[in-house]
Amino acid sequence: MGHIVLLGDSIFDNGAYVRSGEPDVAAQVQAKLPGGWKASLCAVDGAVTAGILSQMARVPADATHLIVSAGGNDALCNSGILQEPARSVAEVMARLADVRDEFARNYRAMLDAVLSRRLPTAVCTIYDARFSDPEEHRLVVTALSIFNDVITREAFARRLHLIDLRLICDEQDDYANPIEPSVKGGDKIAAVIVQVVADNMIFPRSQVYAR
């Protein structure tokens, strides 16, 4: 028997964004698990990467697998940089480098805490989201690549499995709003989480899941 624990933000804690009566991601994971398995939600809507540390205190003692989706709110907190004036491309890159360095420090500290439980762990990229303005969407996706580079590097350096939400939530109706998963998107995310766990996460190498 297994017990999957979901850590992170509203990618998992999306109950407030689906229609009344529709399941959130945790419920969708639970529905896809074999008999005797459990899924628990420790993720909190609005949490930044540093907030995962407090979530770890609520991880059940019988947890067998940890799935982490974090970083989207860190990016959101820094989204104002897209509107700041700059005198050169180098100045823009320096500001983005500062944002990346801070996120990398926070993400590494978070992973250190999560992996201290010595449980099979997988992490998620930040998906591209869906903004109605094509130019805004283009800028956001470009900026998110900085955060996703940190996530993928840390996952591969630690031989963790990576769930690439950019390729999983790839249709407009996968989103309840520009940045939250709909019940359809949640179902796709849940299916991949169950697949990751079913494929046995103890092998000492990274695998990327995109469907």
Average pLDDT over residues 188-196: 97
* pLDDT-based confidence at residue 155 (cuts at 50, 70, 90): very high
Average pLDDT over residues 12-31: 95
Average pLDDT over residues 29-46: 96
Q: Which CATH superfamily is domain 3-209 in?
A: SGNH hydrolase (3.40.50.1110)
Number of Cβ within a 10 Å radius of residue 22: 17
pLDDT in tens, 89-140: 888 788 888 999 999 999 999 999 999 999 999 999 999 988 888 888 888 8
Average pLDDT over residues 152-157: 97
Share above pLDDT 70 across residues of the chain, in percent, rounded to a whole number: 98
**Stated pTM of the model:** 0.93
> Looking at residue 203, what is its pLDDT?
67
> Looking at residue 140, what is its pLDDT?
86
How many angstroms separate the CA atoms of 187 and 20, rounded?
A: 16
- 3-class state of residue 99 by DSSP: helix
How many angstroms separate the CA atoms of 174 and 171, rounded?
A: 5
73-87, 88-102, 160-174: segment of lowest average pLDDT: 73-87
pLDDT in tens, 128-153: 988 888 888 888 888 899 999 999 99
Nearest residue to 24 via CA among 189, 195, 199: 189
Quote the mean pLDDT of the chain: 92
> Looking at residue 117, what is its pLDDT?
95
> Looking at residue 202, what is its pLDDT?
66
Average pLDDT over residues 3-31: 96
Q: How large is the angle between the packed helices 183-198 and 25-32, nearest 10 degrees?
A: 40
